[in-house]
A and B are shown apart, each in its own frame.
Chain A
């Protein structure tokens, strides 16, 4: 029953309060939880994609004989086979592979920017952020071309039973297959593109803050890390979008 000093101090374990149990600041935790909830948003969209596609018949004939029809879901390689400057050449998924490479590269440069932030190396942070912005913007540019091409369509279009042709795509009809094919393409890649666009804006803001020395004065580059988390998440989501829309 001796009253030692230990009596007066509260416990100090990992989860005993008065510390950061997950070794992360509140800002970083918030970003993680936001990304978790955003993952559910994208998850819902991809489930909508999966179920909608499941409701439609797949194409069962020979790949060489494939034609666009509202009767079946198109084969992605036959839809996404164009490349800027190579008109009429069949290059299945070449352009989207390039886009994906660019986005993955931007994730690499983002990692390097975060790493430079840990070293408090302002010049390196600036350099790598600029590369990331460049790659991000290039990705958006590629997506704009991809959309433009998708909307314009090909000369052949889709021949209907009554002899008319549908050329290009909008939200109601498209030349590639059932209306939902284009609906989902526009909606999901558009929603992802909006995320990339927001990411580029965020990157520009933190790039300017880095240039003005805000983070150097603050003593840490945690904001770069937080935006980095977001950027990697957007990149990861693209991997799923790419898999669902282009590969399967």
Chain B
């Protein structure tokens, strides 16, 4: 994994020579500066996996501190060097760990790693296109992301540490270098990395949207599109509208930090001395941030919705229950995601009436979310379920989404939020509903589309071990956190043993940390399975899951352009599984109704 990354890193300088001749593709054109959507998708996936391990490792470090607050960690000195002082983790480095864990997981893994991988890989294949609308912009999108990654990774090695003001980078903590060690150059690199990351997202976003609108093959109407593509399409729109606002906020923050403006700063005294900043509002930053930040959590979870819908229906051998309701609920969620941002700010001193409006809008999201959950359950109901690794993760996703979603209804209440705000209850909620769940969606997608990516199958037995260890440890980690949170245990605290009320939770914290280490270790099974299967996995057939969608009509390893001959036309929706009267239990989208007269429904006779 990391070795792949390093080899990419070394080859950056060869960018420009390689572009003018287009005959034989050499190594760089084929694997490094590739404009082929499949290669770009794999680049995003491998970078995403690298980041996931970095982000996961950081969380293990702070779980060690939380689980064993009295222990000494001299054994970590070879890795952390000066951040271990007399065997104790440096408190400011603890804050940096939490910040970087959040930033890496939310943006670099679950946004770029998840969307970047599956949008690039699946959109052209599932809508029947040769490639994305602009392969060049697509390549730029990856390399901007790569540059952002390099900068953020570099910030981990600064002497003053990476950004430490929380992944939400609220000013004044993030705006004043005096506030925290990490608010110096660490924060500057964070902002630069994020600005580049947003450029990457926008380049990708306009490409995804345009490709879905303009490049669908003949017959692929909007209501014949797989739900994956619907989810990706709407997610891309969310990203396109939400990320620019973060960009604005980041630019203003950069000016506040480096050029003396006062957009987010006012009335600040350091050591009795008033700073020159006056007139700004830190709350304004919170509004701008969460206007992105809330859609962002849907940008993370909606691709997983799409992937899971596809995998559940394929492996249930049943049509998806409520196809149009699924599209409608995605649209509802996408729309609502823009009008609920202030529920992150209930305790920021906002007008309680405004709070009740945002509470009302927030609770409405439960409706489309429940529609999706019931549709997945109804699809599973009395199905001939094939328990593949991907299917296990899809079902696990539904379970996590329900468990995490229920606490969302509690947190959405502005009055209950006063007690629960910034406690481990919130941590448990969002890790279940968008953290672990989105990871499950990602695993689900990797296991399911691995044969299309690499022409080989992943090992199912290892997949099962990976699933059960991950599934169990996710619940073991996050379920107890609800109890901690209800008791008022605050998040982001380096040490809590000084509080009499929280000392009773020592055992529980140790338990959570052990479960977290178990869960993190289980990911190495996945890593091994992934790398091993790329080279040594069982060779895949063209359509190993007997699925209906277009990507399985390509050769086992599609070349540039995806289909050797003409692009197939589409005649039916993608969910004709186990249709009564049909010869097999699946009818691919490319089969016209004239060839399936024995199974056509009365209303489909019209198409004949």
Do the two chains bind?
yes
Measured in the bound complex, the distance between the Cα atoms of B262 and A178 in whole Å is: 10
Q: A10-B570, A18-B219 are in contact. Are A33 and B240 (CB under 8 A)?
A: yes
The 3 closest A-B pairs by CB, nearest first: A10-B219, A7-B594, A18-B218
Other-chain contact of A26, B133, B221, B241, B593 (Cβ < 8 Å): B133
Evaluate contact between A180 and B262: CB separation under 8 angstroms.
Answer: yes
Evaluate contact between B255 and A183: CB separation under 8 angstroms.
Answer: yes
CB distance from A223 to the nearest CB of B (A): 14
User: What does the 1/0 interface line of B38-64 toward A look like (CB < 8 Å)?
Assistant: 000000000000000000000000000
Residues of A within 8 A of B263 (CB): 48, 52, 180, 183-184, 187
Evaluate contact between A16 and B284: CB separation under 8 angstroms.
Answer: no
Is B503 part of the contact surface with A, judged by Cβ < 8 Å?
no
CB distance from A202 to the nearest CB of B (A): 16
Evaluate contact between B280 and A180: CB separation under 8 angstroms.
Answer: yes
Evaluate contact between A38 and B219: CB separation under 8 angstroms.
Answer: no
User: What does the 1/0 interface line of B238-271 toward A look like (CB < 8 Å)?
Assistant: 0011111101110110010001111100000000
Interface residues of B in 206-220 (CB under 8 A from A): 206-207, 209-211, 213-220
Residues of B within 8 A of A8 (CB): 592, 594
Residues of B within 8 A of A13 (CB): 221
Evaluate contact between B569 and A10: CB separation under 8 angstroms.
Answer: yes
Measured in the bound complex, the distance between the Cα atoms of B259 and A179 in whole Å is: 13
- Listed residue (B220, B279, B288) with the most chain A CB atoms within 10 angstroms of its CB: B279
Q: A30-B134, A171-B255 are in contact. Are A187 and B261 (CB under 8 A)?
A: yes
Other-chain contact of A37, B205, B221, B571 (Cβ < 8 Å): B205
Residues of A within 8 A of B251 (CB): 187, 191
Is A29 part of the contact surface with B, judged by Cβ < 8 Å?
yes
Residues of B within 8 A of A29 (CB): 133, 206, 209-210, 213-214
Interface residues of A in 42-99 (CB under 8 A from B): 43-45, 48, 51-52, 55-56
Residues of A within 8 A of B4 (CB): none
Evaluate contact between B133 and A17: CB separation under 8 angstroms.
Answer: no
Evaluate contact between B279 and A180: CB separation under 8 angstroms.
Answer: yes
Given contacts A44-B245, A179-B276, 19 further A-B contacts (CB under 8 A): A3-B608, A4-B608, A8-B592, A9-B569, A10-B569, A16-B219, A29-B206, A30-B206, A33-B240, A36-B240, A37-B202, A37-B205, A37-B243, A38-B244, A41-B244, A48-B248, A183-B255, A184-B263, A187-B252
Is A20 part of the contact surface with B, judged by Cβ < 8 Å?
yes
Name the residue on A nearest B211 (C-beta): A26
Residues of B within 8 A of A178 (CB): 278-279
Is B597 part of the contact surface with A, judged by Cβ < 8 Å?
yes
Evaluate contact between A179 and B262: CB separation under 8 angstroms.
Answer: yes
Residues of B within 8 A of A191 (CB): 251
Evaluate contact between A17 and B220: CB separation under 8 angstroms.
Answer: yes
Residues of A within 8 A of B594 (CB): 3, 7-8
Is A12 part of the contact surface with B, judged by Cβ < 8 Å?
yes
Evaluate contact between B205 and A15: CB separation under 8 angstroms.
Answer: no
CB distance from B535 to the nearest CB of A (A): 37
8 inter-chain pairs at a CB distance below 8 angstroms, sorted by A residue, are A16-B219, A17-B217, A21-B214, A30-B133, A30-B207, A34-B206, A48-B252, A178-B278
Q: A29-B213, A30-B206, A179-B278 are in contact. Are A40 and B241 (CB under 8 A)?
A: yes
Measured in the bound complex, the distance between the Cα atoms of B278 and A179 in whole Å is: 7
Evaluate contact between A34 and B202: CB separation under 8 angstroms.
Answer: yes
CB distance from B280 to the nearest CB of A (A): 7
Measured in the bound complex, the distance between the Cα atoms of B284 and A245 in whole Å is: 20
Measured in the bound complex, the distance between the Cα atoms of B205 and A171 in whole Å is: 34
User: What does the 1/0 interface line of B310-353 toward A look like (CB < 8 Å)?
Assistant: 00000000000000000000000000000000000000000000
- Listed residue (B211, B216, B593) with the most chain A CB atoms within 10 angstroms of its CB: B216
Q: By the criterion of a CB under 8 Å from any partner CB, how many residues of chain B are at the interface?
A: 59
Evaluate contact between A44 and B248: CB separation under 8 angstroms.
Answer: yes
Name the residue on B nearest A3 (C-beta): B594
CB distance from B582 to the nearest CB of A (A): 16
Classify the secondary structure of B's interface with A.
Answer: helix
Name the residue on A nearest B264 (C-beta): A48
CB distance from B296 to the nearest CB of A (A): 14
CB distance from B563 to the nearest CB of A (A): 14
Interface residues of A in 17-35 (CB under 8 A from B): 17-18, 20-22, 24-27, 29-30, 33-34
Name the residue on B nearest A191 (C-beta): B251
Interface residues of B in 567-608 (CB under 8 A from A): 569-571, 592-594, 597, 605, 607-608
Name the residue on A nearest B202 (C-beta): A37
Is B492 part of the contact surface with A, judged by Cβ < 8 Å?
no
Residues of B within 8 A of A16 (CB): 218-221
Evaluate contact between A10 and B247: CB separation under 8 angstroms.
Answer: no
Evaluate contact between A15 and B222: CB separation under 8 angstroms.
Answer: yes
Residues of B within 8 A of A18 (CB): 216-220, 569
Evaluate contact between B279 and A7: CB separation under 8 angstroms.
Answer: no
Q: A33-B206, A51-B284, A52-B279 are in contact. Are A45 and B259 (CB under 8 A)?
A: no
Other-chain contact of B277, A12, A33, A170, A179 (Cβ < 8 Å): A179
CB distance from A161 to the nearest CB of B (A): 15
Name the residue on B nearest A22 (C-beta): B213
Is A172 part of the contact surface with B, judged by Cβ < 8 Å?
yes
Q: A7-B594, A17-B217 are in contact. Are A41 and B284 (CB under 8 A)?
A: no
Is A214 part of the contact surface with B, judged by Cβ < 8 Å?
no
- Listed residue (B206, B252, B288, B607) with the most chain A CB atoms within 10 angstroms of its CB: B206
User: What does the 1/0 interface line of A111-128 toward B look like (CB < 8 Å)?
Assistant: 000000000000000000
Is A248 part of the contact surface with B, judged by Cβ < 8 Å?
no
CB distance from A129 to the nearest CB of B (A): 24
Residues of B within 8 A of A15 (CB): 221-222
Name the residue on B nearest A182 (C-beta): B261
Residues of B within 8 A of A52 (CB): 263, 279-281, 284
Is A198 part of the contact surface with B, judged by Cβ < 8 Å?
no
Residues of A within 8 A of B262 (CB): 179-180, 183
CB distance from B110 to the nearest CB of A (A): 21
Other-chain contact of A183, B209, B219, B244, B261 (Cβ < 8 Å): B261
CB distance from A147 to the nearest CB of B (A): 15
Is B128 part of the contact surface with A, judged by Cβ < 8 Å?
yes
CB distance from B383 to the nearest CB of A (A): 29
Q: A37-B244, A41-B247 are in contact. Are A51 and B217 (CB under 8 A)?
A: no
Measured in the bound complex, the distance between the Cα atoms of B199 and A94 in whole Å is: 38
Measured in the bound complex, the distance between the Cα atoms of B594 and A4 in whole Å is: 9
Residues of A within 8 A of B127 (CB): 17
Evaluate contact between B259 and A171: CB separation under 8 angstroms.
Answer: yes
Evaluate contact between B261 and A171: CB separation under 8 angstroms.
Answer: yes
Q: A17-B221, A171-B259 are in contact. Are A48 and B288 (CB under 8 A)?
A: yes
Measured in the bound complex, the distance between the Cα atoms of B571 and A81 in whole Å is: 67
User: What does the 1/0 interface line of A174-207 toward B look like (CB < 8 Å)?
Assistant: 0000111001100100010000000000000000
Measured in the bound complex, the distance between the Cα atoms of B213 and A30 in whole Å is: 11
Evaluate contact between B607 and A41: CB separation under 8 angstroms.
Answer: no
Evaluate contact between B222 and A55: CB separation under 8 angstroms.
Answer: no
Interface residues of B in 84-134 (CB under 8 A from A): 127-128, 133-134
- Listed residue (B134, B210, B594, B597) with the most chain A CB atoms within 10 angstroms of its CB: B210
Q: A30-B133, A44-B249 are in contact. Are A55 and B261 (CB under 8 A)?
A: no
Evaluate contact between A33 and B210: CB separation under 8 angstroms.
Answer: yes
CB distance from B553 to the nearest CB of A (A): 14
Evaluate contact between B221 and A171: CB separation under 8 angstroms.
Answer: no
Residues of B within 8 A of A38 (CB): 244
- Listed residue (B209, B214, B284) with the most chain A CB atoms within 10 angstroms of its CB: B214
Measured in the bound complex, the distance between the Cα atoms of B36 and A46 in whole Å is: 39
Residues of B within 8 A of A11 (CB): 219, 221
Name the residue on B nearest A186 (C-beta): B261
CB distance from A106 to the nearest CB of B (A): 25
